Structure 1
Amino acid sequence: MAGIADRERVVATMVAAFERDPVLRFLFPSDEDYPRHAAAFFGHLFDKRVGKGAIWTADGGLAAAIWEPPGEDEPVASASKESTAIAELPGDARERMRRYDDAVHAAFPSRPYWYLGVLGTHPAAAGRRLGRTVMAEGLRRAAADGLPAYLETSTPGNVDLYRGAGWEVVAEVNDPLPIWIMQQ
């Protein structure tokens, strides 16, 4: 389980892992600004969840899963009132976050669930199955609580990877970009 001391490494891993991700590039399309804006975004997610005991890492932070326990998921864009990092992002980026969050959250169930908000592996550690390792911890917690787990992906190739790990597509969102909602 990650602690505050893991923040820098986890954020760096996520920035590198999501550099070509459709959602992150939708949110932060500028190559010049991506590293700074993505670091603020992932730093916010880390800070919001680290105290909940719901972030797992492997191999010194080269892979991380940032989960949200049931009943606590909140759209990132609405969190700008509590996060200086998010509030300081450009207004157009915050508007894109709001559009994305609204679309995705409308597709999620109203019943309690564990939410895998972010799963990333640093490109230097790709292919070592570290993502499955850190994902498994949250899935164990969901199973222990008797609850389903949900995630979303905007990368078509990831749909098959997640299916191979036992996830199934339960909804699709096409605006603001193609997104698959998956459940296990």
Structure 2
Amino acid sequence: MKSEQQSKTIKTATEPDKQHVIDSLVLAFTTDPTWRWNYPDTDDYLEYFPEFVRIYGGKAFDHGTAHYVEGFAGGSLWLPPGVRPDEDALVELFQESLSEERQEQAWNVLEQLASYYPDEPFWHLTVLGVEPVHQRKGYGTALLGNMLTTCDQEGEVVYLESSNPENIPLYARHGFEILGSIQENEIPPLIPMVREPQR
């Protein structure tokens, strides 16, 4: 049996790891307020949320900035400065998978989010999650620390959107500051956060 320390080893995902990382993130978000509001039906969630992960954070696999806890207990997808999710693909996904009412609310949220993007080049932590059975074991901290050290060394800003209020304290402990709160009608709040490089 692997020790607790060994299981916190963070690895960079390669192509053969891609589906394992996405599967881990799908499990991690099964109780996420925002994404389960969008996809309350289990079948819909399992069909469409993996595609959202691929679209919103999947470019991290191309840039060597997708990471996972050894054993795939959790993962994180980081987009380098200047790299953005495929907005056209996101539009297509929402049109296919959300009702018209929920689509409209989703567009309004996305439009508001864009106003919170930092002015300077920034890393975008698009998705970070740990499977429920492995939460509160330090894996989220390990996934964050792995990249934040690099960002600090390079003097680069990091931006994220938290879809679960329970994760705010974790991000705050690592130097992230809340920029605001976005809530559109019944959608649970989405919290944009930013972290300046730390010395």
Q: Please, which of 101, 117, 129 is the counterpart of residue 108 of structure 1?
A: 117
- Helix, strand or coil for the counterpart of 2:22? helix
Of 50, 60, 65, the match for 1:39: 50
Cα offset, 1:80, TM superposition: 1.1
Once residues 183 and 156 of structure 1 are traced to their aligned partners in structure 2, the CA distance between those partners, rounded to angstroms, is: 15
The residue aligned with 2:5 is none
Residue 130 in structure 1 maps to residue 139 in structure 2: yes
1:108, distance to aligned residue in structure 2 (A)? 1.7
For residues 68 and 46 of structure 1, do their structure 2 counterparts lie closer, same or farther at Cα, with a shift above 3 Å needed?
closer
**Post-superposition CA distance 1:35-74 (Å, at most 9, x none):** 1111222233454220111111112221111011111123
Q: Percent identity?
A: 24
Residue deviations 1:140-162, cap 9 Å, x none? 23223311111111322211222
Superposed CA offset, 1:113-161 (max 9, x none): 1111111001121121111111122212322331111111132221122
**Aligned residue in 2 for 1:90:** 97
Question: How far has the Cα of 1:16 moved from its partner?
Answer: 0.9
Structure 1 contact 172–178 (Cα < 8 Å) conserved? yes
Say yes or no: does 1:161 pair with 2:178.
no
Work out the number of aligned pairs and report it.
180
Match of 1:14 among 11, 25, 39: 25
Partner AA of 1:135 in structure 2: L
Of stretches 25-34 and 117-126 in structure 1, the one that deviates more from structure 2 is: 25-34
1:23 maps to 2:34:
yes
Counterparts of 1:12 and 1:168 in 2: how far apart (Å)? 29
Look up the equivalent residue of 2:97 and give its one-letter code. P
- Give the counterpart letter for 2:52 in structure 1: F
Distance 1:171 1:46 in 2: 22
Q: TM-score, normalised by structure 1?
A: 0.84
Unaligned runs of 5+ in 1: none
Give 5+ residue unaligned stretches, structure 2: 1-11
Give, in whole Å, the separation in 1 of the partners of 2:115 and 2:194: 15
- Which has the greater radius of gyration? 2
SS in 2 for 1:171: coil
Distance (whole Å) between structure 2 residues aligned to residue 27 and residue 111 of structure 1: 31
Deviates more, 1:89-98 or 1:58-67: 89-98
Question: SS of the residue aligned with 2:108?
Answer: helix
C-alpha displacement of 1:164 = 2.1
**Matched residue, 2:3:** none
Q: Normalization by structure 2: what TM-score?
A: 0.78
Alignment match, 1:68:
79
Instruction: Compare 22-31 and 145-154 and name the one that shifted more.
Output: 22-31
